[in-house]
Amino acid sequence: MLILLNLKTIRNDIDLIKETIIRYNCIPHEIPGEIKLAIGVTGPTNLINEEEIRKMKSVEEVIRVIKKYKLVSREMKEEDTIINIGDSKIGSKDTTIIAGPCSVESKDQIFDIAGRLKEMGINILRAGAYKPRSSPYSFQGLKEKGLQYLDEVKKEIGMHIVTEVKDTDTLSIISEVADVLQIGARNMQNYSLLEKVGKINKPILLKRGMAAMVEDLLLSAEYILAQGNYNVILCERGIRTFETSTRNTLDLNSIPVIKKLSHLPIFVDPSHGTGYWDKVSPMSLAAIACGADGLIVEVHNNPDKALSDGSQSLTLKRFEKLYSKIKEIVPIIHN
């Protein structure tokens, strides 16, 4: 249920409405936004006497939201959600590029890559310290040591850090370093992890599960928003299909689909989406052309020797070339 309020509503009226909602055992969520003043309501809303709410002071409209997901929907919030990470306004007309290696492998490796990306104008670095690998025998990440290197890079080079949190045990130590917490494809439906990051006041990059429908992704984001964290960036990273010529099938259809259904920003990961470095540049440009708010791209200083995902990583030189093309097409797309 969505309660639209008069723009001049005073705090006391908002609190009275919220108290009434709570009396019905439902949860009121003040929807952040500039155009409308609104309260989203979740829980057993069928028990609410709509007439009672409609008659309350400052209430302009009461709308039933039929979709399974509520807080992430465009019905609840018409305007795009904008998430600030440093100077980047994710979800606005900016197209934000996040780049970096799949994993932190050594201090030299992460400093070299971060330093060179920073020179190119990239301000948000991706790199995993705790890696969820399909095989238990694959490199699992440098863990605490990796986090420490990320913290050093953040302070010495001045990069914002995106890194994955794969379980609730490591959430608090990762949160000390990360500016954005990545929830990986394998954890998109780890509901206890989603609820925990929903209680943290930090942007979350939520990747689409490899067998998840768009609706599943939106429902997972709903878990985070329902806990009070509205700073969720969705991420299309390819899904499993019968096609084997690429690692995954990058579902670019999902970008305009999600833009219509949700106010949350949507990123594309062309690296996991394709699995091969030579497909990364064309799919990056395509993603921007179809409305993605940004990209998260794997870049390595020596992909042949990478400890994870080398085959889909761009060299720094190749990334630089892609980045200059991106800067050329962005103004055209946003015109």
Write out the residues near ligand PEP by the rule CB under 6 A. Answer: 102, 128, 132, 184-186, 207, 237, 269, 272
Least spacing, CB of residue 311 vs Mn ion, in Å = 10
Distances (CA, A) of 86 to 83, 97, 197, 202, 298: 10, 13, 20, 12, 21
**298 backbone φψ class: left, alpha, beta (φ>0; ψ -120 to 50):** beta
237 binds, among Mn ion, ligand PEP, none (CB under 5 to 8 A by kind): ligand PEP
Closest CA to 215 of 23, 10, 37, 67: 67
Select the binding partner of residue 165 from Mn ion, ligand PEP, none (C-beta < 5 to 8 A, by kind).
Answer: none
Minimum distance from residue 79 beta carbon to ligand PEP (Å): 28
Q: Looking at beta carbons only, is 251 or 309 nearer to Mn ion?
A: 309
Looking at beta carbons only, is 73 or 308 nearer to Mn ion? Answer: 308
| Contact partner, 207, from ligand PEP, Mn ion, none, Cβ < 5-8 Å per class | ligand PEP
Q: Give every CB contact of residue 79 below 8 A, 6+ residues apart in sequence.
A: 33, 34, 35, 36, 263
Q: Closest distance between Mn ion and the C-beta of residue 126, in Å?
A: 9
Residue 40 contact, options ligand PEP, Mn ion, none, Cβ 5-8 Å cut-off depending on partner type: none
Question: Shortest gap between Cβ of 237 and ligand PEP (angstroms)?
Answer: 4
User: Residue 38 or 233: which CB sits closer to ligand PEP?
Assistant: 233
In the β-sheet with 59-63, what is the strand arrangement from edge to edge?
27-31, 37-42, 2-5, 59-63
Angle between helices 107-120 and 316-333 (to 10 degrees): 40
- Give the residue with the Cβ less far from Mn ion, 48 or 287: 287
Using CB distances below 5 to 8 A depending on partner kind, what does residue 174 bind out of ligand PEP, Mn ion, none?
Answer: none
Residues linked to residue 31 through DSSP beta bridges, in sequence order: 38
CB of 253 to Mn ion, least distance (A): 23
Which partner from the list Mn ion, ligand PEP, none does 293 bind, CB cut-off 5 to 8 Å by kind? none
Nearest approach in angstroms of CB 301 to Mn ion is 15
Residue that has been written with the tokens 């984001």 in this structure: 221
Q: Give me the residue label for tokens 């939201």.
A: 65
Q: Which amino acid is at 291?
A: G
Q: Does 102 bind Mn ion (CB under 5 A)?
A: yes
Cβ proximity to ligand PEP: between 18 and 272 the closer is: 272
Q: Name the minimum Å distance from CB 334 to Mn ion.
A: 29
Q: Which is nearer to Mn ion, 293 or 309 (CB)?
A: 309
Minimum Å gap between C-beta 272 and Mn ion is 6
The contact pattern for Mn ion, residues 286-315, with x = CB under 5 A and - = no contact, is: -----------------------x------
Q: For residues 317 and 254, what is the distance between their CA atoms, to the nearest angstrom?
A: 30
Instruction: Give whichever of 43 and 132 is closer to ligand PEP, judged by the CB atom.
Output: 132
Binding site for Mn ion (CB under 5 A): 102, 309
